[in-house]
């Protein structure tokens, strides 16, 4: 199983770093191990649902998993301009983190976006709640 995961991780990283998709830097952290891959597509597809993501803006979503665990997915526009075309890079980045890191991590596209996938304990906060 470890051999398969390592091979898959290398394949995802190789695909994600191809010139047609843009170059990114992957960084793994030492947090909780939890599979958050099922939330990548809904997060990335909804990234620009409310319009362009302005320079410096953060889009973040929390997904409850099970047994008091959650997945926090975040995107930060580090570029100089607002954009509506972040979904492709988001999917590439988040899949690279999910496949290439044993727990949480981030992927940064130069002059574009910073993406982070972060599994945590605790349920998602209720918006506007205590």
Over 90: is that where the pLDDT of 64 sits? yes
Q: What is the pLDDT of residues 17-42, one digit of tens each?
A: 333 346 889 999 887 778 899 999 99
Q: What is the pLDDT of residues 75-125, one digit of tens each?
A: 999 999 998 888 888 999 999 999 998 888 999 987 789 999 999 999 998
Q: What is the mean pLDDT of the chain?
A: 80
The span from the CA of 28 to the CA of 107, in Å, is 9
Nearest alpha-carbon partner for 65 in 29, 109, 12, 119:
119
pTM for this one?
Answer: 0.76
CB 113 within 8 A of CB 75: yes
């Amino acid at each position: 199983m470890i051999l398969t995961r390592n091979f898959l991780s290398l394949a995802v990283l190789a695909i994600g770093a191809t010139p047609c998709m843009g170059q990114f830097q992957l960084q793994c952290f030492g947090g909780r191990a939890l599979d958050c891959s099922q939330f990548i597509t809904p997060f990335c597809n909804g990234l620009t649902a409310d319009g362009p993501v302005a320079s410096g803006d953060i889009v973040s979503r929390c997904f409850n998993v099970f047994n008091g665990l959650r997945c926090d997915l975040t995107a930060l526009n580090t570029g100089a301009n607002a954009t509506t075309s972040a979904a492709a890079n988001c999917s590439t980045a988040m899949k690279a983190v999910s496949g290439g890191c044993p727990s949480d991590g981030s992927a940064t596209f130069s002059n574009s976006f910073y993406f982070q996938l972060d599994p945590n304990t605790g349920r998602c906060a209720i918006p506007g709640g205590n």
